[in-house]
A and B are shown apart, each in its own frame.
Chain A
């Protein structure tokens, strides 16, 4: 039996977006396929596009864009020490400063990763997650394996994500609830000193803000 009902689903999910569900009938889909094919062959014939560049472009967008709101918060904190201080002190208004709201009464807490402390976030009870900044939770976040093992064996979970931490680094696991949502402020990687805030945003992955990976240095 799922624990989801304990808090009610509405609190956990992003507002409904009608575009996330498919609406077209098979007939409509076929007609749309044809309409796009007509356009595509017309543009290929004009020499404006090639099938290969189309595939490549979609791949770029599918792989490289992530939870941007959270990434913007992280990049601002890296770039602006005063903002970082406000964020760590009281995250909810600091996040709202960037125009991200939509939290329904829950309180945001941002925890900072340092060379000595590694934070990671779990929701042992169900799948509480700060969706206004991180989007909807990945499937594994909701799985019992992650939820229970993060508490018992966090280092093992991190190793599964490819992150092996030195024994001297303390691991803290934060359990989200209906009232408090945690987000990790990852360490700013080396080699990013001269980067603009926009460039930094592109480096920040969803998993680094849940605390199961680090932000990779752009050189690697």
Chain B
């Protein structure tokens, strides 16, 4: 595995851009780190192209933007929730997992 970041991933711009603070990645919880790593590793192993994952991510973020009503007390999904949903979709699309192997969706 490469020991330097893949720029196709680290340089994503616009909606799918990785959340960063002062250039550095922002993770809130351990699961976000692991979800990040899983999606990157399987891509690096050649199970899918980064563009495929990114397109799923863009679609997830776009769908959330449309569906969400602006309200201060609505908890809206964070970046890595979209990331995780995209990863699960790619895994199923590529036949790496079956839908019933995945956990039921997190209830809101």
Binding site for B on A (CB under 8 A): 17-20, 22-25, 28-29, 31-40, 42-43, 46, 48-49, 53-58, 60-62, 64-68, 134-138, 198, 202, 206
Contact = CB atoms under 8 A, between A and B. Distances in A.
Contacts of A18: 76
Contacts of B20: 65, 135
Nearest to A36: B31
B78 A135 contact: no
Contacts of A67: 22-23
Contact of B21 (A37, A40, A135): A135
Given A39-B103, A135-B23, 5 more contacts: A23-B78, A32-B31, A48-B42, A48-B47, A66-B24
B84 to A, nearest CB: 7
B26 interface: yes
A64 B11 CA distance: 12
A38 B103 contact: yes
B56 to A, nearest CB: 15
A135 B22 CA distance: 4
A49 B1 CA distance: 11
A29 B29 contact: yes
B75 A32 contact: no
20 contacts: A19-B19, A22-B78, A24-B29, A24-B75, A29-B31, A32-B81, A32-B106, A34-B103, A36-B35, A37-B31, A39-B35, A39-B97, A55-B37, A57-B1, A57-B41, A64-B5, A66-B23, A134-B23, A136-B22, A198-B7
B23 A23 contact: no
